Amino acid sequence: MRLLLSLALYCATLCAAGRPLLVVSIDGMDHRYLKDRDQLGLKIPNLRRLISQGQWADGVIGVVPSVTFPSHTTMVTGVRPDRHGILNNNRPPADGGERYFSAGHLKVTTLWDAARRAGLKTAAVHWPVTVDARIDFNVPEHFKKRLGDGMDFASTVEKTTPGLMKRILATYPSVGREWLNDYGRALAAIYILRNEKPDFVLLHLIDHDHEAHESGPFTPHANAALEYIDELLGRILASAPKNMVVAIVSDHGFERADTVINVTAMLRKAGITGKVQASATMLTTADEAVAAYLRKVNIGREIPAEEWRRFVPHRPVPGAAFEPNPHVQFASAEDAPESVARMHGDHGYWPTRAGFRSSFLLWGPGISQQNIAEIDMLSIAGRFAEILGIPFGKD
């Protein structure tokens, strides 16, 4: 009887045990890159293999604002920006205006905290908001200068776990170039996977986001950047332990922007007085006459009050809020022209915007092949905790 009880306890423990997890974030990889991979003619054999063998979602509904630092933090905390404390990429001017580099800005427990409490070894390479984080092998995102998609190597070394970069460079000297890009980030992750044997790894790859901003998403240049990342992904996968689950995620969707509409100039031309508060991707007004005119000219989709409360419950519902029409952005400067043509790519749009979704893909032992329905970014941290076999979500 004792033997049977011991075997039952052993089986229960084994079944409850987690699996090591590697999370690779491909910045700006709109889910349409995966969904429309054939129409786009993408040469991404590694991502295609993971899709054919793993579980991938029909898009991820993000958070407000749908930009890099808040989104990445939501994926490792399971809560909205107003709760985790990372409200944008940069801190408000009154708070210094610098990036939210430091984990000291976090208001809630992260997955790396929970993993360490469970006795797991943790690692991160250029994951946002990880400077001074309690991560065993940490190459945090930190820069004082940027050149395109590259970040100055010296600033990364300054904040890296003591001794870790020296060990990485002994194996991969090319990581030490002046500007650290995805090539160097991938090699740093490969070194950590092979030599430090962590249980939980976070890797942030950034080059695609830069290209999609410059030339627009789904363009030949942006597609080529993703194909290059797929090449790096192949090397990363070959270095991961056989029992490791791999998650491919992204922080936000992307949209081509062709035209900037100056709403202030538009109202002035129509003889309408009243104020709007506008960013590139959303405008609000407390003036009903202004709101009525903007509805009449179809400035964009009006955001329902219930959506506002869902995504930004910490901010009062405005009199009216609009997101721009497809491929259009807003401006409100007094001295700017009414309309300007400007071809580029951008994000930061309202999370439910048509087509604007980030990506989620799981592959590895215990992951069955299936295409699942659209998910919420708030659910991702819990999914990761389940794979790791750690308690999470009760701050």
Percent of the chain whose pLDDT exceeds 70: 94
Q: What is the pLDDT of residue 393?
A: 80
> What local confidence, expressed as pLDDT, does residue 7 receive?
31
pLDDT tens digits along 89-141: 999 998 888 999 999 999 999 999 999 999 999 999 999 999 999 999 999 99
pLDDT tens figures, 270-313: 999 888 999 999 999 999 999 999 999 999 999 999 999 999 99
Ordered domains of the chain (ranges, CATH): 19-254+352-388 (3.40.720.10), 256-344 (3.30.1360)
The fraction of the chain above a pLDDT of 90, given in percent, is 88
Higher per-residue pLDDT: 97 or 251: 251
Residue 333 pLDDT: 78
Residue 74 CB partners (closer than 8 Å, separation 6+): 62, 63, 80, 81, 84, 377, 378, 380, 381
Query: For the ranges 25-29, 83-87, 192-196, 389-393, which has the lowest average pLDDT?
Result: 389-393
And the tokens for 193?
């996977």
The answer on pLDDT for 359 being more than 80 is yes
Distance CA 239, CA 233 (A): 10
The pLDDT value given to residue 303 = 98
Q: How many CB atoms lie within 10 A of CB 77?
A: 27
Task: Say whether 380 sits in a helix, a strand or coil.
Answer: helix
Question: In this structure, are residues 200 and 241 in contact, taking their beta carbons and an 8 Å threshold?
Answer: no
Task: Give the chain's largest Cα–Cα span.
Answer: 88
Q: Please state the rounded mean pLDDT for residues 28-41.
A: 98
Residues paired with 102 in a beta bridge: 131
Out of 1-5, 91-95, 139-143, 262-266, which region has the weakest mean confidence (pLDDT)? Answer: 1-5
Residue 293 vs residue 149, higher pLDDT: 293
Is the pLDDT score of 334 beyond 80? Answer: no
DSSP character string of 241-308: -TT-EEEEE-S---EEEEEEEEHHHHHHHTT-----EE-SS-EEES-HHHHHHHHHTT-EEEPPHHHH
The reported pLDDT for the residue numbered 6 is: 36
60-82 per-position pLDDT tens digit = 999 999 999 999 999 999 999 99
The token duo for 372 is 């699942």
**β-bridge pairing 339-346 and 255-262:** antiparallel
φ, ψ for residue 142, nearest 5 deg: -160, 130
Question: What is the C-alpha separation between 159 and 96, in angstroms, rounded?
Answer: 19
Whether residue 272 contacts residue 290, with contact meaning beta carbons closer than 8 Å, is answered with yes
pLDDT at 394: 58
| Local confidence band at 148 (pLDDT 50, 70, 90 cut-offs) | confident
User: For the chain, what is the mean pLDDT?
Assistant: 93
Residue 337's pLDDT is what? 67
Nearest 5°: the CA angle 50, 192, 391 is 70
